[in-house]
Amino acid sequence: MGRQLFNPWIFAGDLMVANMQIGAVLWHRLAAPQSGAERARMVNEKVAAASSGVFEAQKAALRLSRDAALGTMSPARAALAAAELGEAATKPARKTLKANARRLGKRSPRKTP
């Protein structure tokens, strides 16, 4: 199976869903005090997602430059190259955000005394 073509409409929809998930994650995290372990996990997840995003963006840039150098890149793909890089860079963060929204949604917020 070949590589699926980049679709800017799907990317825009994914960013819209991520925006809603950000609200859910922030509500869960701000609604209850967090333990030191949870705070450390939040920081570690963000560093890992940012590092993965940089790596994925570099891989996408190499694929794009390879295809451009070989002359196999279509004009439509060339026009969407920057958006394709943005999608590759944000995909790990969106995946982590989705997992956090699911994980935190399963827990009920702790009540403060």
- Residue 108: the pLDDT is 55
- Residue 71: the pLDDT is 92
Q: Which amino acid is at 60?
A: A
Residue 22 is assigned to a structural domain of this protein: no
Residue 94 is assigned to a structural domain of this protein: yes
Residue 19 is assigned to a structural domain of this protein: no
Residue 113 is assigned to a structural domain of this protein: no
Asked if residue 97 lies in contact with residue 22, where contact means CB atoms within 8 angstroms, the answer is: yes
- Residue 27: the pLDDT is 75
Residue that the structure tokens 């982590």 belong to: 96
| Cα–Cα distance, 40 to 85 (Å, whole number) | 29
- Residue 4: the pLDDT is 65
Q: Could you give the number of structural domains in the chain?
A: 1
- Residue 28: the pLDDT is 72
- Residue 112: the pLDDT is 47
- Residue 33: the pLDDT is 66
For residue 24, what are the contacts with CB-CB under 8 A and spacing of at least 6? Answer: 101, 104, 105
- Residue 110: the pLDDT is 53
What are the angstrom distances between the C-alpha of 45 and each of 14, 19, 62, 92, 99? 20, 18, 26, 10, 11
Average pLDDT by consecutive 10-residue portion of the chain (113 residues)?
69 84 76 74 85 93 94 90 90 86 68 47
Q: Which of 90, 87, 96, 97 is nearest to 4 (CA)?
A: 87
| Cα–Cα distance, 22 to 17 (Å, whole number) | 9
Domain that holds residue 76: 45-99
